[in-house]
Amino acid sequence: MRHPGVVREDDLMRHLADLVAHSYEGAVSWVDRVAVFRRAVELLDPVVRRVFAEADAAFLDGTGEITRRSVEQGDGSLGEHWELSWPSQREAISRDGGPVAPVQVIAWFRRNFNHAHLRGSTAGDWPLQITTTEDATRQLPIVRAIVEAELHQRIYEGRYPVMPIAVRKYGPPRG
């Protein structure tokens, strides 16, 4: 029985089915599961870029740059990193004296896992159950939540002047 309004019921049920079947969207071999992951990443790409563009327009005064890079670890684990960076973030010094990282959305697939996950650099893990454009579109609120958490973390790390909208709206730091 479906429960309308239940948060991401389809994704969580498919995630559970994967765990029971030791598969990823029906794929059992590592090669086949990697193909599912790569397809999910391609379907998710426009969703992540859309949310980054929204954040850029709302908070970064159009100064943001979006990049995407693939990561492969020695054990065969895979990752896809989307990053949103901007000049004041790249120039900022964090509270601990290091750089302020870009906002990140990360799809990752550990070699010893059944299936892939979606996360930010600081925000949780969500099932990455994407095989169709509809599945990818359903991730929009999750990607928005990740980006909001990431933006908040950058404000914490680099203090409010890291956000162009804050400086424009409230002025530069005083004293």
DSSP structural state of residue 162: G
Q: What is the CA radius of gyration of the chain?
A: 18
pLDDT class of 161 with cuts at 50, 70, 90: confident
What does the CA dihedral 160, 165, 166, 170 come to, rounded to 10 degrees?
Answer: 160
pLDDT class of 6 with cuts at 50, 70, 90: low
**What would the mean pLDDT of 104-109 be, rounded to a whole number?**
98
pTM of the model: 0.92
Beta-carbon contacts of residue 136 (< 8 Å; ≥ 6 apart): 40, 43, 44, 46, 47, 130
Structure tokens at 89: 């973030």
Q: Residues 41-61: pLDDT tens digits?
A: 999 999 999 999 999 999 999
DSSP structural state of residue 173: P
Q: Is the pLDDT of residue 144 over 70?
A: yes
Residue with tokens 């964090």: 94
Cβ proximity of 127 and 11 under 8 Å = yes
Q: What is the pLDDT of residue 9?
A: 83
Q: What is the pLDDT of residue 174?
A: 81
Distance CA 84, CA 66 (A): 5
Domain limits, the chain: 30-169
Distance CA 125, CA 104 (A): 13
